[in-house]
Structures are given as structure tokens and as C-alpha cells.
């Protein structure tokens, strides 16, 4: 299956349907990361609560992002102490891609950042116009995973011209 989705569909299919049902691992990539709220059993909660639930179920979570999230995100993050050691993350100023990879079996790639206006539950008149592809096609999922993993492993670090902006550069070279 390969499907083109837009706007609210990204929220419904990726954030509400697939991510909460992750069993083994979740890899997320986004340029921007903000305080994102989602519906959980009829109640609006921080997306971080969904991630915390996954950590409790021993799901491995990796997060690539380009800049530090804002105060509201950090405040919500502190409400879920299991995320401190439950999420591996790398901050890379060159990350502009947006991915959600679930269990190596499903992937989203598109324009939407992990923000309220990008993939959140905002109304149609407040959200961004976004588009993306979801798939369970093994070859495509594999290629998306490969691109994520190359960044994760630091393959681009030695020749990168933005090292001075990268807080994780030295750690990536030690891997």
C-alpha cells in the first residue's frame, strides 16, 4: 500500500492510528519540534504522553531534530520522566526531512513537522497545508530507514560544513 495523504489525514493516520500501535521501534525525524497535543481516548494530551506510553511498553524511540524545542515542549517533557532515558535523540541542524518509521513495516514521509500546525489536532483554519506519503511497501520503507540511519550513524558528519552548529557532532564521531 502506498497512499498520498494531506492535512488532517496525516494527524489521523500517522499520529492517532499508527504511532500508538507501535510494538518494537519508532523513528521520528523533524526539522521543528513543538508542543503538540493529540486526542487520547477523548482527552487532549501532549504527544509526549503517547511517546511515554510507548516507552512503558519497551518500544525503542529515536528522534532526529534540527533545533531545540520550545519551553512548552520542555515543560511537558519533564512531566514524563521515563522519556529521559526512553528516547534516544540527535540534534542535527541539517535535518529538514520529516519521517515516522514504525517497526520497519510502515513509514510516513512528507512536509509536516511534529508541531501542532503540522501534524497536530488543530482545526482546518489553523493548521498548515501539508502533504505526504504513507506506505507499508518494504522497499520504500527500507529506503526511508536507510536515509534516517545514515544520519543517525553520523555518516555525513566528517564532511559537514555546519559542525559548529551541531551540539551532537563529537558524540556522533565516537559511535
Count how many domains the chain has: 1
165 pLDDT more than 70: no
pTM above 0.85, yes or no: yes
Distance CA 169, CA 157 (A): 7
CATH number for 52: 3.30.870.10
Lowest-confidence pick of 34-43, 112-121, 165-174: 165-174
108 pLDDT more than 70: yes
* Pairing status of strand 87-91 against strand 60-65: parallel
Q: What end-to-end distance do the CA atoms of the chain give, in Å?
A: 35
Lowest-confidence pick of 20-29, 30-39, 46-55: 30-39
Mutual angle of helices 47-56 and 71-78, in 10-degree steps: 30
DSSP string, 14-30: IIIIIGGG-SSEEEEEE
170 pLDDT more than 60: no
CA 160 to chain centre: 23
CA 111 to chain centre: 12
By residue range, what is the domain housing residue 132?
2-174
20 conformational bin, left if phi > 0, alpha if psi -120 to 50, beta if neither:
alpha
CA 104 to chain centre: 14
- Mean pLDDT, residues 36-64: 95
Amino acid at each position: 500500500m502506498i497512499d498520498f495523504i494531506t492535512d488532517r489525514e496525516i494527524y489521523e493516520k500517522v499520529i492517532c492510528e499508527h504511532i500508538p500501535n507501535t510494538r518494537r521501534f519508532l523513528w521520528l525525524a523533524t526539522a521543528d519540534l513543538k508542543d503538540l497535543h493529540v486526542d487520547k481516548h477523548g482527552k487532549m494530551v501532549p504527544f509526549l504522553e503517547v511517546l511515554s506510553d510507548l516507552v512503558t511498553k519497551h518500544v525503542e524511540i529515536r528522534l532526529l531534530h534540527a533545533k531545540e524545542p520550545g519551553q512548552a515542549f520542555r515543560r511537558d517533557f519533564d512531566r514524563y520522566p521515563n522519556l529521559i532515558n526512553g528516547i534516544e535523540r540527535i540534534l542535527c541542524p541539517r535535518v529538514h526531512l520529516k519521517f515516522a518509521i514504525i517497526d520497519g513495516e510502515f513509514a510516513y514521509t512528507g512536509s509536516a513537522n511534529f508541531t501542532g500546525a503540522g501534524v497536530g489536532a488543530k482545526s482546518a483554519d489553523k493548521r498548515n497545508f501539508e502533504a505526504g506519503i504513507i506506505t507499508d511497501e518494504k522497499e520504500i520503507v527500507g529506503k526511508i530507514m536507510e536515509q534516517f540511519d545514515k544520519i543517525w550513524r553520523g555518516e555525513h558528519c566528517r564532511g559537514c560544513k555546519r559542525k559548529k552548529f551541531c551540539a551532537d557532532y563529537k558524540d556522533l564521531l565516537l559511535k
